[in-house]
Structure 1
Amino acid sequence: MNWPNTILTERLSIRYPIIQAPMAGGPGTPQLVAAVSNAGGLGCLASSYLHPDALRQAIAEVRALTDQPFAVNLPVGHPAKIDSKRITRACELLAPYRAELGLPPASPPLPELPGFDEQLDVILETQVPALSFIFGIPDTQYLNLLREAGITLLGTATHLLEAIVLEESGVDFIIAQGAEAGGHRGTFIGHPEQGLVGTLTLAPLLAKHVSAPIIAAGGIMDGRGIAAARVLGAAGVQMGTAFLACRESGAHPAYKALLSQGSEIATTLSRVFTGRHGRVLRNRLVNELCAHEADLPGFPFQLFLTQDLQQAAAERGLTDFMALWAGQGCHLCEDRPATELLAAWVKQASALLRGENSPEPIHTLPPVNHQEKPIDSDLINPSCFI
């Protein structure tokens, strides 16, 4: 089996078929993006909440730190329709938490996110080597402009139908986002539950039924996962949670501290923070509003209603009210420089793919606390996972 050279490394002129997943809201700093690219992978800059000038500046910061290829990720999906009733209800539900942090009640009017057109103009202007996207597919006119500019295109699929549609659009690679992945779910066709397919099932399924090369994502935390993805037919992997606790990550210190607690942390799917389903660490806000998720507005309105709450919590180090995006492999995070992590993963994957004994896992987990209280049955309401 050819390793580490794959169609992904050849197309993007990188040494290793490892993509750092885009992580908006703090963790995905230009320093992290550049460090991964300098180490031979493909760093990826999240642009979800960046207006054109901020996006342009972030790209410039990456370029000042590396001369290697990197990618930018753009969200494609259309915003939800304004639902005044849901917005009002969300304001009521959030009021006690806002009061607890000394914030005034949330109220419309709400701000606007940057438009896709504006962000795309920056991508074309700055000639980034690769563009990944999530929540849908750009219009044909945009795809044509990107192809003419020589920009490699990576789309995100959470089930087979999405992958087929992406292939028909002519993308160069398809990121198979398994249910284990942290952050927003990329599902854009059907109900979100339809996209909750594990990576070990999704990657080979897509590799079998579409001809575009597959990038496996979700639950991949070290060389063992990288090797497994290659065996399953993936041309590469995308890893996000694995970088959360690394030195270059911009994740809040309290956020990183939680990642070291091993068995005492758990993830779930929630739309409490943005109005879109995403995998997060359980905290007080997620647990207490879980039963009310059906009452909340969609993206970006719920995001606007919680942004200052999250910011106030971050300033105080209160993880109970922060959006702690993380995948199911979060127990395996390591506090090391990104370069060291990448080197260890490559060494481990290479040994496994050569049929040798794997180097010892690099992870050290805290002991399991057998005195933990059982999970409250109210917190495993099926509505939390839809």
Structure 2
Amino acid sequence: MAALTELSSFSAYPIIQAPMAGGASNPRLAAAVSAAGGLGFLAAGYKTSEAMYEEIRQLRDLSSQPFGVNLFMPQPATVDRSAVAVYAEQLAGEAAWYGTSLGDPEAGGDDAYDAKVAVLLEDPVPMVSFTFGCPERAVLDAFSKAGTYTVVTVTSSAEAMAAQWAGADAVCVQGVEAGGHQGTHRDDPLLDGTGAGTGLIALIPQVREAVRLPVIAAGGLMRGGQIAAVLAAGADAAALGTAFLVTPESGANPLHKRAITDPVFARTELTRAFSGRPARGLLNRFMREHGPYAPPGYPQIHHLTAGLRKAAAEAGDPQGMSLWAGQGHRLARELSAGALVETLVAELHAAQRALA
């Protein structure tokens, strides 16, 4: 596979469809975004290496354009098991209500990372990004030799410097506004998951001054004017997740899609309630009732609540689901993925002309 050495060479426009684990990012969505001139992404998180490879095969059948695959880094075994057990006792009522059982918190913490890396080195893809940490230099060097462009998600200038030292080709700078999990390299157990973090516009110049790597900006971006703003702040491209979550090509649960623009869900908050790691979602009953008591413990809490979340979805109850969304969720537009890219590009160009 021929290497694409510049970030700008992957797509006609500086617009990336952020990888959203859990089903939203699928081959159909990634293909539609890439076909419209953006860069589509698959999310390998929570999948087996075989399932990841099958999605790559499907995407290649749908499109010949460049695309990316996102991997979750293995997590250190530092969880307080007694705290997880106490939380499980608190969730017993939820399990009884939904007529299901709690999951096994010890179901695994590495997300089949080594197997996925092996597959991607054996059959390389254009781009691979990493979340929840930074790979060792040997891994990034192996991807470089395979012709794969590597991106590390960072939430601080210190994490960006670590990614540069390890040999990453670029960093994805994630502001606190972003939906879903905060991609910090280490989860600080002293934080309650509700407030810590830096806003995107403040974070971009900090990272830009700390490292020489290309910067992808992510966090609450929903309009072309916002893309113009992060490019003006020093980013090379923008990644949007929630904006693409509501498109017909997205594989997100229909209840999740409707909730994004439902006035019942007025705001988002960071919570540990569903996974044990700070993640931003639409504030619902489960977050209000259990968020204050959820201990640090990813992916143990994720495994523990998996059955509850699935049962809530099957019951048609968004109040028990993890409705990940960025702070800009009320700006979501129900357009096709291709039409959304075209609209964002038009807005971006208009904003750049206004700034000129």
Q: Identify the TM-score tier after normalising by the shorter chain.
A: over 0.9
**Residue of structure 2 equivalent to 1:49:** 46
Number of the residue aligned with 1:365: none
Deviation, structure 1 residue 190: 7.0
**C-alpha separation between the residues in 2 aligned to 1:116 and 1:235?**
28
- 1:9 CA drift (Å): 1.6
Range with bigger deviation, 73-82 or 340-349: 73-82
Structure 2 CA distance for aligned equivalents of residues 148 and 24 of structure 1? 27
Residues 138-173 of structure 1, C-alpha deviations (whole Å, 9 max, x = no match): 112211110100100111110111111111122111
Distance apart, 1:28 and its partner CA: 1.1
TM-score normalised per structure 2: 0.92
Indicate the SS of the match to 1:74: strand
The residue that corresponds to 2:142 in the other structure is 145
C-alpha deviation, 1:16, in angstroms: 0.8
1:7 CA drift (Å):
4.7
For 1:233 and 1:70, the matched residues in 2 are separated by 23
- 1:87 CA drift (Å): 2.7
Report SS of the residue matched to 1:62.
helix
Cα distance in 2, alignment partners of residues 109 and 218 from structure 1: 29
- Residue 269 of structure 1 aligns with an amino acid whose one-letter code is L
The answer to whether structure 1 residue 26 and structure 2 residue 23 are counterparts is yes
Work out the CA distance in 2 between the residues paired with 1:8 and 1:95: 48
C-alpha displacement of 1:135: 1.1
Q: What does 1:336-375 correspond to in 2, within 5 Å? A: 336-355=335-354
- Conserved? CA contact 1:263–1:331, under 8 Å: no
For 1:42 and 1:309, how far apart are their aligned partners in 2?
Answer: 33
Give, as a single letter, the amino acid of the residue that structure 1 aligns with 2:25: G
Provide the alpha-carbon RMSD of the alignment. 2.0
Question: Partner letter of residue 333 of structure 2?
Answer: E
Q: What is the alpha-carbon distance in structure 2 between the residues aligned to residue 254 and residue 197 of structure 1? A: 30
Query: Who is 2:313 aligned against?
Result: 314
* Partner residue, 1:247: 248
Residue type at the aligned position of 2:62: L
Is the 1:313–1:319 contact (alpha carbons within 8 Å) kept by the matching residues of 2? Answer: yes
Pairwise CA distance, 1:353: 1.0
CA distance in 1, matches of 2:82, 2:181: 24
In 2, Cα distance between the equivalents of 1:186 and 1:264?
24
State the partner residue of 1:215: 216
Q: Which residue of 2 aligns with 1:335?
A: 334
- The residue that corresponds to 1:384 in the other structure is none
Q: What TM-score, normalized to structure 1? A: 0.85
What is aligned with 2:159?
Answer: 162
Is residue 308 of structure 2 the alignment partner of residue 298 of structure 1? no
Secondary structure of the residue that 2:91 maps to in structure 1?
Answer: helix
Structure 1: unaligned runs, 5 residues or longer: 1-5, 358-386
Match 2:175 to one of 175, 178, 184 = 178
2-side partners of 1:247 and 1:84: how far apart?
40
In the TM superposition, what whole-angstrom CA distance separates every residue of 1:265-306 from its partner, at most 9, and x where no partner exists?
A: 21100111111111111111110012212xx35111111111
Could you say what secondary structure the match of 1:354 adopts? helix
> Counterpart in 1 of 2:129?
132
Percent identity reads: 40
Q: Work out whether 1:224 is the aligned partner of 2:225.
A: yes
**1:9 corresponding residue in structure 2:** 8
**In the alignment, residue 338 of structure 1 is paired with which amino acid?**
A
Q: Which residue of 1 aligns with 2:108?
A: 112
Q: How far apart are 1:338 and its partner, in Å?
A: 0.4
Matched residue, 1:381: none
Q: Which position in structure 1 is the counterpart of 2:70? A: 73
> What corresponds to 1:3 in structure 2?
none
1:123 and 2:120 are equivalent in the alignment: yes
Find the aligned partners of 1:322 and 1:103 in 2 and give their Cα distance: 14
Residue 92 of structure 1 and its aligned partner are, at CA, apart by 0.7
Change in Cα spacing, 1:158 to 1:109, as seen in structure 2 (3 Å) is closer
What's the CA shift string for 1:36-66, capped at 9, x where partnerless? 1111111111111111111111111111111
Does the 8 Å CA contact 2:178/2:218 hold for their aligned counterparts? yes
CA–CA separation in structure 1 for the residues paired with 2:13 and 2:112: 33
Deviation for aligned residue 1:77: 3.9
Partner of 1:199: 200
- Matched pairs, number: 347
- Post-superposition shift, 1:115? 2.3
Q: Distance in 1 between matches of 2:145 and 2:215?
A: 23
**Distance (Å, rounded) in 2 between the aligned partners of 1:182 and 1:128:** 26
For the 8 Å contact 1:270–1:280, the answer to whether it is kept is yes
State whether residues 258 and 265 of structure 1, in contact with CA within 8 Å, keep that contact through their aligned partners in structure 2: no
| Superimposed CA distance per residue, residues 117-146 of structure 1 (whole angstroms, 9 cap, x where no aligned partner) | 101011112211000111111112211110
Query: Which residue does 2:83 correspond to in 1?
Result: 86
Q: Distance in 1 between matches of 2:61 and 2:275?
A: 32
Per mean C-alpha deviation after superposition, the further-off stretch among 93-102 and 192-201 is 192-201
d(CA) in 2 for partners of 1:242, 1:266: 16
Partner Cα separation in structure 2 for residue 337 and residue 18 of structure 1: 15
Determine if contact 1:160/1:205 at 8 Å carries over to the other structure: yes
